[in-house]
Amino acid sequence: MLCSELRMNSHQSVFSSQRGSDAKLVSSTATSCGGVRTGRGLGAAHYRECRVPSRDGPAQHSVVCAAHKLMEIETNTILDDMGYIRPEVEGKAQAFVFAIYDENQKLQYIGFSKDLQSSLRTLFSRRPEKAYYYKYVSLPEVDQKEMVATRGAWFEEVGGPPPGNKLAMERAAWQQPVDAGAISDRGKLQAAEEKSKDLLEAIRKRGCREQFMPNASLLVEGQVDFVPAEALSPEELEKQKKEMERIMQASKKCKTVVDGQESDFTLFFKSKFPTNGGYMIDVSVNHDNVETRHRIIIGKDYYEPYKVDPESVVELVFSFLLANKVPRHTEGMLLSSQFPINYFSISELEQWFDEFKGVFSSIGDLKGSEFWRFNRLFDYGGVNDNLESLNMALAIEDSSDSA
């Protein structure tokens, strides 16, 4: 049986095994990162005795393995609504077997851990583009045969090891610090610093709010990993705690309906500035494990007559936009067919979407704002209203200029 080895930071013990029926406990290196919505995994009470075949033939020993299949274990998001990794582990578990899934809930990696939170943070920080969901089982004590047997049962259930356990390059990407790809010894530090910036930006875009500090000793070697949470100073931990409390106070959990299914999203109200006619509000929206940032101009006409606060109108607005699957990224040049969702006014939204008036009726009868309403009824002149035709037109213009 081929078992994988997971190397984490020196503050964290994880499990590794070699070829054969026995596993070996090692201490190695890991990372830190953050954010999770956690549900519950499978506890030790849900195990039964079974026999596991060794590489040399039929079953040689009895171990305890999961009675429930991997598909029956609850799926949890690695990042919670606040942008932190906080798995809810019941009891005094001493070991875990866990599975990591990507954005499409496709299995990527199965590993072992003695500290589930640290392991999730490590793997998330190394591969923020791949680590979205997880499942786990917990054990009351370290039993490596039991853990290997559980992983083997999961491999068999899904038709073989996932990419992170099967493919050498993928396995290294999950189990080892990130190689910055420097082509010379002199360039190792610079390449690692640039790579750490890229990873931190990818982590931030995922909505993760935990603090990350690159491991300085690894940077000089051209590798990137982050200091685990337990290595942060008391001042840094206190700062992180206060930031989390602030976020919780400024956040609101909301619901919408997408394709007939109820869907949760979270609003984080970052700032609120008074204007002559109302407010300008900066807000972050976390939906489907993706965080986006928006600035909304809201006039008094949309909240004062109805005796509601501006935040309630913002909640209704994003419930409407998410239900209608309006793209949440509109950076760069916008087409006339694209709603500027990252910076818009409520009156602009009303003019773009006639159906918004019906949705607003849950607050009151929308009489409309004092602004003129313009609807385009006919196309005049340019026909480049889609990205393909616009790119073609720009390419033709560039070629004529060069000639």
Instruction: Please give the pLDDT value at position 1.
Output: 32
| Percent of the chain at pLDDT exceeding 90 | 44
Full-model pTM = 0.56
What digits encode the pLDDT tens for the residues 309-365? 999 999 999 999 999 999 887 666 777 788 999 999 999 999 999 999 999 999 988
Measured between alpha carbons, how far is 171 from 157 in angstroms, rounded to an integer?
20
Sign of CA dihedral 20, 25, 31, 36: positive
The whole-number average pLDDT for the span 361-384 is: 59
CA atoms within 13 A on the CB side of 149: 22
Q: Are residues 142 and 262 in the same domain?
A: no
> Does 5 score more than 90 pLDDT?
no
Domain membership flag for residue 189 = no
SS3 at position 160: coil
Structure tokens at 106: 């496709």
> Does 257 score more than 70 pLDDT?
yes
Facing residues of 27 across strands?
13
Measured between alpha carbons, how far is 291 from 265 in angstroms, rounded to an integer?
10
Q: Are residues 157 and 306 in the same domain?
A: no
Query: Please, what is the Cα angle at 234 between 230 and 240, to 5 degrees?
Result: 80
> What is the tally of structural domains in the chain?
2
Distances (CA, A) of 123 to 44, 126, 139, 168, 174: 24, 5, 21, 16, 6
Instruction: Please give the pLDDT value at position 224.
Output: 95
The residues near 160 (Cβ < 8 Å, ≥ 6 apart) are 166
> Does 35 score more than 60 pLDDT?
no
Domain membership flag for residue 218 = no
> Does 51 score more than 70 pLDDT?
no
Domain membership flag for residue 311 = yes
Instruction: Please give the pLDDT value at position 388.
Output: 63
Domain membership flag for residue 280 = yes
Greatest CA separation for the chain:
81
Measured between alpha carbons, how far is 60 from 64 in angstroms, rounded to an integer?
13
Instruction: Please give the pLDDT value at position 318.
Output: 96
Q: Are residues 255 and 349 in the same domain?
A: yes
Rounded to the nearest 5 percent, the helix, strand and coil shares of the chain are 35, 25, 40
| pLDDT band of 387, cuts 50, 70, 90 | low
CA 349 to chain centre: 28
Domain membership flag for residue 237 = no
> Does 64 score more than 60 pLDDT?
no
**Taking the CA atoms of the chain, what radius of gyration do you get in angstroms?**
26
Domain membership flag for residue 64 = yes
Q: Are residues 254 and 154 in the same domain?
A: no
| pLDDT band of 385, cuts 50, 70, 90 | low
Domain membership flag for residue 213 = no
Q: What is the DSSP string of 331-397?
A: -SSPPTTS--TTEEEHHHHHHH-TTHHHHHTTT------SS------S--S----SHHHHHHHHHHH
- Interstrand relation of 223-224 and 107-113 (parallel, antiparallel or unpaired): unpaired
What digits encode the pLDDT tens for the residues 211-230? 888 998 899 889 999 987 66
Of 178, 206, 241, the residue at which a domain comes to its end is 178
The whole-number average pLDDT for the span 186-202 is: 90
The DSSP secondary-structure symbol of 334 reads P
Q: Which of 89-103, 117-131, 287-301 has the highest mean pLDDT?
A: 117-131
| pLDDT band of 8, cuts 50, 70, 90 | very low
Q: Are residues 169 and 271 in the same domain?
A: no
CB count within 10 Å of CB 40 equals 14
Range of the domain at 163: 12-178
State the chain's mean pLDDT as an integer.
Answer: 77
Q: Are residues 28 and 163 in the same domain?
A: yes
Instruction: Please give the pLDDT value at position 361.
Output: 92
In degrees and rounded to multiples of 5, residue 33 shows phi and psi of -170, -170
Instruction: Please give the pLDDT value at position 328.
Output: 85
The lowest-confidence range among 9-18, 165-174, 186-195, 333-342 is 9-18
Of 132, 152, 178, the residue at which a domain comes to its end is 178
Of 178, 210, 235, the residue at which a domain comes to its end is 178
Measured between alpha carbons, how far is 151 from 146 in angstroms, rounded to an integer?
9
Q: Give yes or no for a contact between 297 and 350, defined as CB atoms under 8 angstroms apart.
A: no
Domain membership flag for residue 191 = no
Secondary structure E strands in 7-155: 12-17, 23-28, 47-54, 57-66, 76-77, 95-101, 107-113, 133-139
Facing residues of 257 across strands?
262
